[in-house]
Structure 1
Amino acid sequence: MTKKQSFLNACGALLIGLAAIHSPPALAVNDAMLDLLRILRDKGSLTQDEYEMLINASKADAEHVNFAKEEVKRIDTTNIVTKDKLSFTSKDGDFEWQPIGRIMADYHIVDSDLSAIDTEGAFRRARLGMQGKMWGKWIWKLEYDFSSGSADMKDGYVGYEQAYANGKWNIKAGQHHIPFGIATMSSSKYLTLLERPLLADGELQPARNLGLSGFIHGGEVWTLNAGVYGASEGTPADPNTFEEVNIAARGTWNPYLKDPVHLLYVGGSIWYRNPNDSSLRIRQRPGVIRAADERFIDANFGTGLAEDVLAFDAEGVAIWGPFHLQGEYVHWNVTPTTPTAWSAVEPGDVDLNGYYIEASYFLTGESMNLKTAEGVFSGVKPFAIAGKGGIGAWQVAIRYDVMDLNDFVTGAGAGVRGGLERDLRIGLKWYPTQNLNFMADYTTVLELDRPGSSRDSDEPGAFNLRALVYW
């Protein structure tokens, strides 16, 4: 065999060896290949220089392959979820990013009584935001509402979340919910009727403020949530006073929990507020009709007259298959800066309250979705999606609603005359899919008692429509 032929044979052996190097599972220098080159050298088929040249080339190629393999390992594959939501999660699960938002387009056909209220359409909510986690433990959320024509912050916080033997706990800092009452703490995406009750999402039951809070739950049985807050983001600061102080705590318990659709849930909250000389005013639109610009019940305590407020909330929910019953009561005790601030006839504190009872039934058999580990409602998933062989979920609901902002001495003309209002709201909700809903309801003011006001005995009603999509 000539030297030329021997070298060609060696090159052929090298090519075979390189193919073995690149074939799975081996991605490093193949020991068998090195042994083959050594044998060819020992038999004289390869000179020492040719042997060393081929060995070095083989090692260099193997190092390149190993480097490429390590680079592939370092590339973090992202998991993309598109079922019922859109989210992006790192391969190890430590990082997650989810775009969020909701659009609610409403139309109100108003049956005015004493006061003229325009029939109108409007975007009730138009929100965009994002939420996620970092390094497995750090949680965050940022969401703005654009329905007013400007960007209004709803949530904007960072937090730390940790699992323990019986559940999870977390700490949040920034703008987020004050732990007080289920009606306001549950998202507007999951309402059974177009609007929350009279007592919710306002002064009687506040929504979000800037603060620091902690939360913990024990399995599906109980939750505890408490925090310290200032004013809401965007509230104008008064250089002559300290910012208001809010301290709140909420606990929930499930005395009966057969399964997620057969349960009994109760909860209670306490909330202390010091306005620090800022104005204190509790008011509400008639029937929570958004087309009404003016609030027909209005307890205006003025500026600097309220020392502090102590409020209590009791809530309860029962779910039994397609049937759902819910109720809540809020009591407000307002202490004046001076005993006769509002009444010289009966000096002292002012007591205000509100309550409601609500029931719903799914005609298609679904159930309300209560997250017992969080103490809030979540989305309802139809058994069969409309457009894919089903008709979606259909739900009927009714609510009786009372808000009493009167506390005065009969016949003396003294005290607080904010007004007493009683409402009735009935509705129908269609869920073609979990994230797309259509709602229709009718609300009417059954009674409005506000002595001395032009709104006294004003009892409007409205037929309301909504198209809702969220993600």
Structure 2
Amino acid sequence: MRTITTSAIAMIAAAGLATPAFAQDSEAEAMRAELEAMRAQMQAMAARIDSLEGQLVTAQAKADAATETSTTALAAAEEAKSDTSVKWKGAPQFEGNGFTFKPRGRMQYDVGYLGAPDSFTDSAAGFGSELRRAYLGFEGTIPGGFGYRAEVNLASEEVEFTDLYITYAASESVKLTLGHQKPFWGLEELSSDLFTSFTERAAINTAFGYERKVGLSAAISSGDVLAQGGIFTDSITDLNNDDGDNELAYSGRVVFMPKLGENQLHLGANVNYRDANAVRSVNYRVRPSIHTPDVRFIATGGMPVESELAYGLEAGYIAGPFHAAAETHWQKVGRPGLADPTFFGGYAEVGYFITGGDSRGYKNGAFDRVKPTNGVDKGGLGALQVNVRYDYLDLNDAGVVGGKQDGYELSLIWTPTDYTRFLINYGRMEYTDAAIPGVDGDRSYGVDAFGARAQIDF
């Protein structure tokens, strides 16, 4: 890279030493002096070139180091980028480095019509509409086997907590849950309201005040058997009241859920005990198969209750487009100084998908999401399902006359995509010993209830 090298300087210097003997001549002396000056200048130039070469080598080393650092950083960034993925499960689910995070929510808008007999004068009869549920929250997992879910309901006058818990997978077959969750009441109650056969659950699941509670639970699975149990106290809302007399409740459930070829069988039993830790006024009551009318035709009225013992049986079967489900429930109520009544109820339903290839979902001891074989998003019709149900509840016992219900219900469900659903249902509810008499005092009559729902979730 040098223009003049050190060897060239040496040659010139040697040429200067080869000057003839006439060096004593003044002209020769002048030339020698000029050559010496030139040699000095060239030596200085060579030294400068050496210095510049050193600086160039240092700069090149720094540039190489910077390039290597940049390449390493880009590689690390690319590796980090490739370690993070996004899946779509109704909403984006982010996964990376053992973590997952997914927003979740649902919206259900209902309309309904209650047709009561002429002898009935309650103003709740007629047309009604409501935002039934509006949930918003998030869920995910954390390395080490931990998970979480937090969700609130925005449809009420005040924001209500729904699921709010932490989970821990102690092993592949053991899962612990701590926080605000559902105790183990039964098949339909533990199936999400997103996947029920009618807009409202059966009377046994709405009459007895089932709600989420704060507690610690465990689920243990082994082959076709699932065992669930937990200890609970009040709901978050009741805990925040700080009245100092929180209840204590125990819940257990066992499910046998074998696959019979391509079909799914479900057999289960559950038991729940609640010690109120104080005498509380409780009113067992139920709406007429839809939620929009704020009226209950059968109700016990406020009773002093200090404990509850509930137990039930469950059965379900899924065979391609067909499904059947049935449950029974006994509710024994401890009343201080009074006879303890035992109320009874149950339901039986069957359903069938008109569209080919569709079937009801099932997972972990509960009904699950329907995924249309030919959804609207795929250019198809979606899934069409019809269901019929008989719904019975008896709130008469031990001197308590809360009334009896015989309900006959029919529903049609259209599921255009995995995360959208539209329901319409009709119920004919026949009452005996109704809590609300007609204008002529008659307590045995029937009402007609029509309901519809538009639903989306993510």
- Which interval holds the TM-score relative to the shorter structure? 0.7 to 0.9
Is the Cα contact below 8 Å between 1:382 and 1:393 reproduced in 2?
Answer: yes
2:147 maps to amino acid: I
Q: Larger helix proportion, structure 1 or 2? A: 2
Q: Alignment partner of 1:64: what SS? A: helix
Partners in 1 of 2:283 and 2:3 — Cα distance? 100
1:386 maps to amino acid: V
Is the Cα contact below 8 Å between 1:227 and 1:249 reproduced in 2?
Answer: yes
**Aligned ranges for residues 326-405 of structure 1 at < 5 Å?**
326-338=325-337, 341=338, 348-365=339-356, 366-371=358-363, 374-386=364-376, 388-405=378-395
2:336 maps to amino acid: T
Map of 2:266 onto structure 1: 265
Map of 2:220 onto structure 1: 216
1:64 maps to amino acid: A
* 2:450 maps to which of 463, 466, 470: 463
1:422 aligns with 2:409: no
Map of 2:176 onto structure 1: 171
Structure 1: unaligned runs, 5 residues or longer: 7-43, 342-347, 409-414
**Comparing 355-364 and 271-280, the one that deviates more:** 271-280
1:186 aligns with 2:177: no
* 2:235 maps to which of 229, 232, 235: 232
Map of 2:23 onto structure 1: none
How far 1:301 moved relative to its partner? 5.3
* 2:148 maps to which of 137, 140, 143: 140
Q: Alignment partner of 1:234: what SS? A: helix
Identity of aligned residues (%): 26
Map of 2:88 onto structure 1: 82
How far 1:299 moved relative to its partner? 2.2
1:318 aligns with 2:320: no
The TM-score normalised by the length of structure 1 is: 0.79
Q: Which has the larger radius of gyration?
A: 2
Map of 1:345 onto structure 2: none
Structure 2: unaligned runs, 5 residues or longer: 6-45
Q: Alignment partner of 1:276: what SS? A: strand
How far 1:171 moved relative to its partner? 1.4
1:198 aligns with 2:203: yes
Q: Tell me the number of residue pairs that the alignment of Structure 1 and Structure 2 aligns.
A: 405
Q: Deviations over 1:110-142 (max 9, x none)?
A: 211224313111111111111111225221111
How far 1:379 moved relative to its partner? 0.9
Q: Kindly tell me: are residues 4 and 270 of structure 1, through their superposed partners in 2, closer, same or farther at Cα, counting changes over 3 Å?
A: farther
Q: Kindly tell me: are residues 136 and 380 of structure 1, through their superposed partners in 2, closer, same or farther at Cα, counting changes over 3 Å?
A: farther
Q: Deviations over 1:229-284 (max 9, x none)?
A: 1111112667675211111011111244323xx12111111111011224252433
How far 1:69 moved relative to its partner? 4.6
Map of 2:417 onto structure 1: 433
Q: Kindly tell me: are residues 403 and 76 of structure 1, through their superposed partners in 2, closer, same or farther at Cα, counting changes over 3 Å?
A: farther
RMSD of aligned residue pairs (Cα, Å): 2.6
Is the Cα contact below 8 Å between 1:203 and 1:281 reproduced in 2?
Answer: no
How far 1:84 moved relative to its partner? 3.7
Partners in 1 of 2:70 and 2:145 — Cα distance? 31
Q: Alignment partner of 1:189: what SS? A: coil
The TM-score normalised by the length of structure 2 is: 0.81
How far 1:55 moved relative to its partner? 4.8
Q: Kindly tell me: are residues 161 and 54 of structure 1, through their superposed partners in 2, closer, same or farther at Cα, counting changes over 3 Å?
A: farther
2:310 maps to amino acid: A
